[in-house]
Amino acid sequence: QVQLVESGGGLVQAGGSLRLSCAASGHTFSTYVMGWFRQAPGKEREFVAAISWSVGNTYYANSVKGRFTISRDNAKNTVYLQMNSLKPEDTAVYYCAAGAIATTSPSSSYKYWGQGTQVTVSS
């Protein structure tokens, strides 16, 4: 059974930083793209960033480009999202996902999802 477990969310002031982690187990993700999505209250889930597992190509939403960095540790089957210069509009539940075939794939292409971790940025 595939499992994705996020951690690292919390409350931070605007301008601060957080690092989210997503630990994958139950499958070898060497050929899968992994991504981060977020959903704010009353809004649809939106793409944040994605990374290919074997090559390390990355892709970012325009709203986070230059502030967020996605990376992965293949040995630990873990993907990270380093979030700097956080803004109140970054407040959302952040979800890790796996199983897409391209970094530009939509959310519907991801096969596996974590339970989400709350990120709250205060002004």
- Residue 70 token pair: 């996605």
Rounded distance between C-alpha atoms, residue 59 and residue 63, angstroms: 12
The partner residues of 59 in beta bridges, in order of sequence, read: 50
| Whole-number CA gyration radius for the chain | 13
Per residue in 37-70, pLDDT tens? 999 999 999 999 999 977 779 999 999 999 999 9
Mean pLDDT, the chain, integer: 92
Closest CA to 78 of 20, 37, 31, 2: 20
Rounded distance between C-alpha atoms, residue 39 and residue 72, angstroms: 22
Per residue in 102-118, pLDDT tens? 888 899 999 999 999 99
Residue 87 has pLDDT above 70, yes or no: yes
> Dihedral angle at the C-alpha atoms of 87, 119, 21, 5, nearest 10 degrees?
-150
Per residue in 92-105, pLDDT tens? 999 999 988 888 88
| CA dihedral (22, 96, 111, 57) positive or negative | negative
Closest CA to 51 of 37, 78, 70, 67: 70
